[in-house]
Structure 1
Amino acid sequence: MKAPSPSVVAALPQYDLGAQIGHGGMGVVYSAVHRPLGRPVAIKRLPGILAEDRRMSERFEHEARLLARLDHPHIVPVYDYVQNNGEHLLVMEKLDGGTVWSRFTEVGFTPAQTCALGLAMLSGLHAAHGAGVLHLDVKPKNLLFTAGGVLKVADFGISQVVSEGATLMTHGGQVLGTPAYLSPEQALGNPLSPAADVYGAATVLYELLSGRLPFDSGGGPLAMIQRHVHQEPRPLTDVPAPLARVVMRGVEREPVRRYRNAETFAIDLAGAAAEVFGADWLMRVGTPVHLSPQVAAASSRPATGSVIPRETLNIPVRGTMVEATPPVRLGQQTLVPARDLIDGQEPRPARWFGLAAALLAAVMVALPFSLPASDVPVLAVDLSKPVVVPVADGVTSAEFDIWAAGFSVARTAGVVADGRATFELPGAARWVVGGAVDAAVTTNTGVTEYSLQPPQNPMISIMGVGSGVLLLFTFAYLESLLRSLRRRQSGTAAVVASAPLGFGLGVAVLVLPSVLLRVAPGLWPAVACGVLGASAAVCTAVATRRAAASRASAAAGT
């Protein structure tokens, strides 16, 4: 490990400094001992950019005073803050119990242990929020253990001072901070509140309970940030439902839909844990946790339903992922707000998709009215009665076929006598046919085609009612999908689901006018209308999704 630089040693004459014990985008940490007191401490050397910006340096000095006043069992205490010859150094309690990340990847945590750690984390966050300090970099590596197993939250406020609440990136895509736990509003540089830390804490709980993150981690930091901003997190499966509901509320994309503060989050988490593990769960876990009276009461609330068997919840969940994002070294690098890069890569409003959808829909609607009229003879008969068709001399056998859009509706053999063939159709056939369908009489001398047009009102048939119901159903369901896309509650799955719905809508658009106009619907026109409908629906869904993303980005910039 690297030894501290001479400037750091000179700035701390009362300390014996040891080797480097940690590093990240927000600074480097050294072990040390305060000689007069013999107290082990950790020295955090803050990024050199603080020394280069007087305004930032003054802001951090103010933040350090706030941090020094924080006195809470689940917050790493700050003993001193030193500025000397360009060095900015925080002197903190030294914790020897490792981090949540190290234990998570080595031995893992049971769901009950995770809930206890979550309550400790939220307790520390709520105390800091009450003092006016946001963390903005909540992650397993910033959750440390004492030798006695008490969890403490470290590195409050550093991210906010260095980046002024925004997420900064290099032009190469490296992120100052940890994109896996980043709230959407922080990525976009929007005003921040305790809800940003609620998001980070909920993401940590999601990972500790399931062993994975709410979003895919591939594609690099910028792609990860874009997922947080524009996509919904994956549902938390294989986790007891009461816990999953609480955590998923914590990772809602919109801040107003999350818990309003860390304590309300903790109350619901404690209640869900009591429901799953039993009222004495926290005592059995044995993890030291300092709770407010409201959270303590929720943690011992009697279960309203059956408690999940304990043996099914005693298997630890281990982390198998490694941090793929190297920390950004501040110094001479040019940093820009992540929102600028996100906006630069986010597709513009899809006007072309909207125009394509309108054109495809227009062709789909016009197609049923442009089909040529059939030139075969019309056979107007009441299908509820025997169908009589004249036949040529010499015909000894006859068969009657009815089909619509290429699908057989009925087929029956007839009785030939006195130059006529009489057919008794199945009972269901009379209710299927509406408007007009194709029909053919096949005899031993040849085939004669007809356009079969029953005199009954076509809308009392299955073809009429069915096409109307299909039209209303597919249209309503498509509108529901588009509404969810406009509200950014759905993503790619809604776009994919729009294709079969559009196909069904296109088929209904062909069949219903055909029934009313008494034109026999053909197979290939039905397929063509279905394809046009599917294409129009997908284009509309893509245009709606991109327009919603564009509006969100524009709103973030105001």
Structure 2
Amino acid sequence: MTPERWQQVKAIFQWALERAPKERSAFLLSACGADESLRKEVESLLASHEKTGTFIDSPAYEAAAHLIADEKEEFKPGQVVGSYEIVSFISRGGMGEIYLAQDRRLNRKVALKILPVSFTRDMDRLRRFEQEARAASALNHPNIITIYEILKANLTHIIATEFVEGETLRQRLARGPVNLNESLFIAIHVADALAAAHAAGIVHRDIKPENIMIRPDGYVKVLDFGLAKLAEQSTAVASDEALTKQVRTGSGMILGTAGYMSPEQARGKAVDARSDIFSLGGVIYEMLTQQKPFDGETPSDVLASILKSEPPPITQFAPDTPAEPIRIVRKSLRKDPEERYQIVKDLLIDLKTLQQDLEFQKRMARTSIPVETPRAAIHTAADSPASIVPTGEVAESPTSVSHPALS
């Protein structure tokens, strides 16, 4: 069994353990789909677990135990790694630890993503860490975090990126509702970033509020290409259309954040640009409603919801939401990839068109001139022969007069 296959088996096994024994068969049918060998492998582990109570004696779990034991190793402020001096710890994610550091050569702040030394024994994790560096460094877009350098200091693997001040979209959501205009602004920036990534043959595969950074000036950056997958193709650059047809996930390993996975990603199937579209649709839904589109008490419950359930109507949480953003989100969240937007550029067009329509409506509202009485209306147009009302007729006064430039 390959390491990637083992990761897939282990993930489904762990999710199955969270369910009652009588529910596991149905869950495995849903999670494994048509992959009968995968289902049998998980069933075998479940049977072994029921018999022995655990299977942590397996080599894979011994390795995992070593990783967990070593995971406490940290870098301290003032410590020098390569040409960077550690300033402070920022966060820890599935692909490594993030530190704020000072570039001693160029005297600038940087963010260092550091893969702990203990994880270098996990060849799959190391491969994905290096893949992130290659994927993100190939992109040059204002809405995508910039890679400065990829280096190895002793046994430590490091990605140095621009340091983005601000807050994540998750933090922004925690502060309170995000109105429609702000939601569109953020979604357009993310879609623009994805369009550039997809054009370069890269699928992000982990679009979620935690990976969307909002600077103090409102500008948006897409972070963390740790799960990005390069398209399998002979040409150096792919169009969105080619990417939709050609990218594959390799082993079918389940990677991503449960609440934002596409159905095909949740099943460990091949993913393409349309998977990112689904994830972005989920993010837009959450911005509009303050609710996650798919939720549950356990990861397996969330996956089951993604595979089988439709999210509650947006109007249930935000009754004043216009029809068009509802349509856009609904189309993005279709279970069948063929029914979604096929390329992110089409989604981007709809988002920008909606934004322009809303801006036009605001301008119209600002430039409308209220007319208080019919007398005022007649007085306003008294110099115009066309405004003279014939004797015996009553002039109808509109409630407002639109600005001539917008008529």
With the shorter chain as reference, the TM-score category is 0.5 to 0.7
Taking only the aligned residue pairs, the percentage that are identical comes to 32
Aligned to 1:198: 277
Say if 2:96 and 2:113, in contact at 8 Å, map to a contact too.
yes
Cα distance in 2, alignment partners of residues 114 and 21 from structure 1: 26
Cα distance in 2, alignment partners of residues 167 and 58 from structure 1: 14
**Map of 1:191-270 to 2, 5 A cutoff?**
191-215=270-294, 217-237=295-315, 238=319, 239-270=321-352
Q: Secondary structure at the match of 2:170?
A: helix
Number of residue equivalences: 270
Higher gyration radius (CA): 1
Residue type of the partner of 1:102?
Q
Shift of 1:177: 3.8
Say if 2:136 and 2:225, in contact at 8 Å, map to a contact too.
yes
Say if 1:4 and 1:19, in contact at 8 Å, map to a contact too.
no
Q: Cα distance 1:65–1:243, how it changes in 2: closer, same or farther (>3 A)?
A: same
Shift of 1:68: 1.3
Residue type of the partner of 2:261?
L
Residue type of the partner of 2:147?
V
**Map of 1:14-413 to 2, 5 A cutoff?**
14-46=83-115, 51-54=120-123, 57-58=126-127, 60-158=129-227, 160=229, 166=252, 168=254, 177-215=256-294, 217-237=295-315, 238=319, 239-278=321-360
Q: Cα distance 1:48–1:202, how it changes in 2: closer, same or farther (>3 A)?
A: farther
Say if 1:95 and 1:147, in contact at 8 Å, map to a contact too.
no
Aligned to 1:496: none
Structure 1 runs of 4+ aligned residues shifted over 4 Å read 47-50, 53-56, 163-168
- Identify unmatched segments of 5+ residues in structure 2: 1-71, 231-248, 367-407
Cα distance in 1, alignment partners of residues 358 and 333 from structure 2: 21
Cα deviation digits, residues 79-136 of structure 1 (max 9, x gap) = 1112344422211111111111112211432111100110001001111111122111
Residue type of the partner of 1:5?
F
How well do the aligned residues superpose, as a CA RMSD in angstroms? 2.8
Q: Cα distance 1:3–1:41, how it changes in 2: closer, same or farther (>3 A)?
A: farther
Shift of 1:275: 3.5
Cα deviation digits, residues 163-185 of structure 1 (max 9, x gap) = 968554xxxxxxx6421111111
Say if 2:101 and 2:109, in contact at 8 Å, map to a contact too.
yes
Aligned to 2:75: 5
Shift of 1:48: 6.0
Shift of 1:157: 4.1
Shift of 1:202: 0.7
Q: Secondary structure at the match of 1:252?
A: coil
Q: Secondary structure at the match of 1:278?
A: helix
Q: Cα distance 1:133–1:105, how it changes in 2: closer, same or farther (>3 A)?
A: same
Q: Cα distance 1:47–1:4, how it changes in 2: closer, same or farther (>3 A)?
A: closer
Cα distance in 1, alignment partners of residues 285 and 103 from structure 2: 39
Q: Cα distance 1:57–1:130, how it changes in 2: closer, same or farther (>3 A)?
A: same
Shift of 1:236: 2.2
Q: Cα distance 1:111–1:70, how it changes in 2: closer, same or farther (>3 A)?
A: same
